[in-house]
Amino acid sequence: MKKLIFLILFIFTFSNVYSNGVGVVNASLGTYLKLTSSNINVSVELQVSITKTTQVFLNNLGTPKLVSFAFPLPQGASATELRWKINGEWYTAPISPSPQDTTLPGGTMNQALRNYLGATPLFFPITDTVRTDSILTVELTYVQLLKYDFGNVYFDYPNDYRLIQNLAIESQELTFNLSSPRTIDSIRLVSSNPLTQLTNNGNTATVISNQYSAIPSVNYRIKYSLNLNQLGLYSYSTRIPDPQLPDSLGGFFMFIAEPNPGSTAEVIKKVFTLILDKSGSMSGTKIIQARNAASFIVNNLNPGDKFNIVDFETNVYNFRSGHVLYTAQSRDSALTYINNIVTGNLTNISGAFSTAVPQFNIANDSTANIIIFLTDGLPTVGITNTQQLLGHVSSLIQSTETQIYLYSFGIGTDVDQQLLTLMSSQNNGYAEFLLNDELESRITNFYLRIKNPVLLSPSITFSSPFINNVYPDPLQNLYIGQQMFVSGRYTESGPMNITLSGRAFNHPVSYQYIIDRIDSPDVRYQFLTKIWAKQKIENLLVLYYSLNPISPEAIALKQQIIGLSIAYGVISPFTSFGNPTSIQGNEENVNNSENTIAENYKLLGNYPNPFNPVTTIKFIVNKNFTGNAFIRIYNSAGVLVDVLKLSVNGRGSYEINWNADKYASGIYFYTLEIGTEILSSKMMLIK
């Protein structure tokens, strides 16, 4: 294996495409409930954002309607709570151990709705009929990490609703509250929405924008700047009482690191290839932006770099037959080549990599070897099977005996996200997914970052042995103007030394910090439980997608992800918001019930709860079903520990005992699988 400098970029996948939800009545015809008001309440700690967005809809369509709520959830965000009010009653949705149902009333989405919802929409069917001239209120909460660049942080909420409804609504209200231990130099409402209030006290800030009786046509955009002289590490911790946790891993901590890079004139030399999809679907705006992005990269290469361009459709083409040294002459020739790229026929991904990867066989030992891959579609010629294509790319890269860093950018909503994610994660990179009009800005920003590393191949050590479950694993590299987010658990409180080590400009570097682990709950930092669970789930997903989904290892990982998702209230690809729990009268108690109610079946929970060591699980069957019901029981880590089987013969009440004598104290989760339904709840064993 050749020696080289490791170059990899750590970026959470951000997208600016999230907005008001839609009450879908007929997806193909574009029939929706009327949006009458929208309220967005945002709470931010440094750059961790918790958004609670509430929409009020009116059924003005003349007859009662069944509705599905659809929301353009931002990429990288995790939904944590969904509730709604209909016919005067509040409901909340528990997390169910099954993927979300993506079907909508009326069938296939029309193009306007598809464009509006973006790449990662959230769907949820409202179980009750919305009466004529009545109100439906939907409230969704999600957590995310805001985009950060060189001290500037951005919050975007595209409030432009005209693809769905071009009518005035009663109110548009945004409240944005920011708290930061790092000084807030400035904050402003960049967009043209009315500014109602703006305050900045240095460590706290508020932006309020209210508008009434107007068409929602202007996107919200808030920008705040953190002091660039206060680089370093900022940490948070909270210790929740063990009985309130679904595991025994201890307290939660998170730190955000941005070491001071110092001053240096050194630049890492690169061997760089841009693989550009120019199939027919890339025509129009996409190919124009792709050419602009490619031209920007070529104009910003460094002396000593080597580069090439591979463009493909059914056939595969080269700027040169191999990497060429970056000079004024090669730059100008490449720019001419890029300007002449036009779209063609099908999508030959395997052929493109067969051409591009072998060119790295003669890469210099001291260079960073990078591929940026741009595509907007599925492979339609050459190797089209996902697993075979992954194997083909992996074999090509291994044969070079060179470490190659592969970064994939999927454009639009028709890309194979699993293929790009696996292709990149298996080859030291990552995948991002963006809309058609984001290509140029996202690629150019990405390239600017990889020119200036602060910490490559980083590792972390703790002075305390009482640290566990630290994510991401492995740590991702750190670049000037960017940050590293790390979360983990601890069983002992007190101050602790952290050392970040790695290489920069081919020299060893390290940074040392001190953080505190508190021994009591801090209500300000309850979001740490969500951030940690989100990062652990993402780590497990990379492992899961690298396996055969029917292998025992993949099945065990899937169950672990499901258990974590349910335990910590963070939606995953294998879970969704399930059948609702009705909460009568008192809105403040909306989260207290754990029972799950379906139309045909009702899970009554278990009694006693807490229990030791036997409890009885009860459920009701409201239809003429004959067959077996299965109770699957998971521990707090999501591992399946027991399966109970019960024969069902028609309507009635059923119960089954579970003896947990051989299991340890803690939180357990269980699912009832009966007919086509999967219901879930949790219980506590105390010995």
Task: Give the pLDDT band (50/70/90) at residue 597.
Answer: very low
**Domain ends where: 399, 429, 450?**
450
> What is the domain-level CATH number for residue 359?
3.40.50.410
> What is the domain-level CATH number for residue 510?
2.60.40
CA distances to 48, 252, 256, 512, 582 from 497, rounded to whole Å, are 23, 16, 15, 7, 48
In a domain, 587, yes or no: no
pLDDT tens digit sequence for 7-39: 222 223 333 334 689 999 999 999 999 999 999
In the predicted model, is pLDDT for residue 594 greater than 80? no
Six token digits for residue 291: 């050419």
Higher pLDDT, 180 or 439: 180
Count helices and strands (H / E) in the chain: 9, 42
- How many domains is the chain partitioned into structurally? 4
In the predicted model, is pLDDT for residue 285 greater than 90? no
Listed residue (454, 434, 456, 455) closest to 443, CA to CA = 434
Residues 286 and 238 grouped into a single domain? no
- What's the rounded mean pLDDT across residues 393-415? 85
How many residues are present in the chain? 687
pLDDT tens digit sequence for 151-200: 899 998 878 899 999 999 999 999 999 999 999 999 999 999 999 999 99
Task: Assess contact for 410 and 418: CB atoms under 8 A.
Answer: no
| Structural domain harbouring 49 | 22-149+151-226
Residues 308 and 285 grouped into a single domain? yes
In a domain, 330, yes or no: yes
Six token digits for residue 447: 């390239």
In a domain, 585, yes or no: no
Task: Give the pLDDT band (50/70/90) at residue 452.
Answer: low
In the predicted model, is pLDDT for residue 223 greater than 50? yes
Residues 40 and 119 grouped into a single domain? yes
Task: Give the pLDDT band (50/70/90) at residue 96.
Answer: confident
Q: Checking DSSP bridges between strand 484-490 and strand 467-471, what pairing results, if any?
A: antiparallel
Residues 134 and 240 grouped into a single domain? no
Q: Where are the beta strands (DSSP E) in 203-342?
A: 204-214, 220-226, 232-238, 251-258, 270-277, 306-312, 316-318, 324-325
Does the pTM surpass 0.85? The reply is no
**Phi, psi torsion values for 231, nearest 5 degrees:** -80, 160
- What's the rounded mean pLDDT across residues 295-305? 86
pLDDT tens digit sequence for 627-642: 888 888 877 666 678 8
Residues 196 and 245 grouped into a single domain? no
CA distance 246 to 563: 10
pLDDT tens digit sequence for 135-149: 999 999 998 888 888
> What is the domain-level CATH number for residue 630?
2.60.40.1930
In the predicted model, is pLDDT for residue 244 greater than 80? no
Task: Assess contact for 401 and 2: CB atoms under 8 A.
Answer: yes
pLDDT tens digit sequence for 507-548: 788 899 999 999 998 888 888 999 999 999 988 887 887 777
Q: Residue 147 in 3-state DSSP?
A: strand
Residues 28 and 112 grouped into a single domain? yes
- What's the rounded mean pLDDT across residues 221-230? 93
In a domain, 570, yes or no: no
Q: What angle do CA 530, 40, 62 make, to 5 degrees?
A: 115
Q: Where are the beta strands (DSSP E) in 3-128?
A: 22-26, 31-32, 34-45, 48-58, 68-71, 78-86, 89-92, 95-96, 122-125
In a domain, 322, yes or no: yes
**Domain ends where: 450, 468, 491?**
450
Question: Among 53-62, 214-223, 449-458, which stretch is predicted with the lowest mean pLDDT?
Answer: 449-458
Listed residue (91, 99, 555, 479) closest to 268, CA to CA = 479
Higher pLDDT, 595 or 627: 627
In the predicted model, is pLDDT for residue 444 greater than 90? no
Residues 237 and 212 grouped into a single domain? no
In the predicted model, is pLDDT for residue 76 greater than 80? no
Six token digits for residue 296: 């920007």
Residues 260 and 335 grouped into a single domain? no
Task: Assess contact for 608 and 684: CB atoms under 8 A.
Answer: no
CA distance 397 to 379: 19
Listed residue (188, 192, 220, 194) closest to 206, CA to CA = 188
- What's the rounded mean pLDDT across residues 105-116? 90
Task: Give the pLDDT band (50/70/90) at residue 436.
Answer: low
What per-residue confidence (pLDDT) applies to 301?
Answer: 86
Listed residue (136, 125, 81, 84) closest to 103, CA to CA = 125
Residues 405 and 328 grouped into a single domain? yes
Task: Assess contact for 289 and 440: CB atoms under 8 A.
Answer: yes
Six token digits for residue 5: 């400098």
Find where tokens 């231990």 sit: 181
CA distance 307 to 323: 5
Higher pLDDT, 335 or 364: 335
In the predicted model, is pLDDT for residue 228 greater than 70? yes
CA distance 18 to 259: 31
Q: Residue 543 in 3-state DSSP?
A: helix
In the predicted model, is pLDDT for residue 592 greater than 50? no
> What is the domain-level CATH number for residue 53?
2.60.40.3680
Q: What angle do CA 147, 150, 154 make, to 5 degrees?
A: 30
Residues 410 and 323 grouped into a single domain? yes
Find where tokens 């750059």 sit: 47
Residues 237 and 281 grouped into a single domain? no
- In a 13 Å sphere around the CA of 306, the CA atoms on its Cβ side amount to 16
In the predicted model, is pLDDT for residue 587 greater than 50? no
In the predicted model, is pLDDT for residue 306 greater than 70? yes
- What's the rounded mean pLDDT across residues 480-499? 91
508 forms beta bridges with 503
E strand or H helix that includes residue 152: strand 152-157
Question: Among 223-227, 362-366, 669-673, which stretch is predicted with the lowest mean pLDDT?
Answer: 362-366
Residues 305 and 427 grouped into a single domain? yes
**Domain ends where: 450, 473, 504?**
450
Give the orientation angle of helix 285-299 with respect to helix 328-339, to 10 degrees.
Answer: 180
In a domain, 550, yes or no: no
b/e burial code for range 14-29 (CB count within 10 A of at least 16 → b): bbbbbbbbbbbbebee
Find where tokens 């760089």 sit: 272
In a domain, 139, yes or no: yes
Share of the chain above pLDDT 90, in %: 44
In the predicted model, is pLDDT for residue 353 greater than 90? yes
Listed residue (303, 248, 312) closest to 274, CA to CA = 312
In a domain, 80, yes or no: yes
Category of 591 on φ-ψ map: left (φ > 0), alpha (ψ -120 to 50) or beta: alpha
Cα end-to-end span (Å), the chain: 54
Higher pLDDT, 636 or 43: 43
**Phi, psi torsion values for 683, nearest 5 degrees:** -150, 165
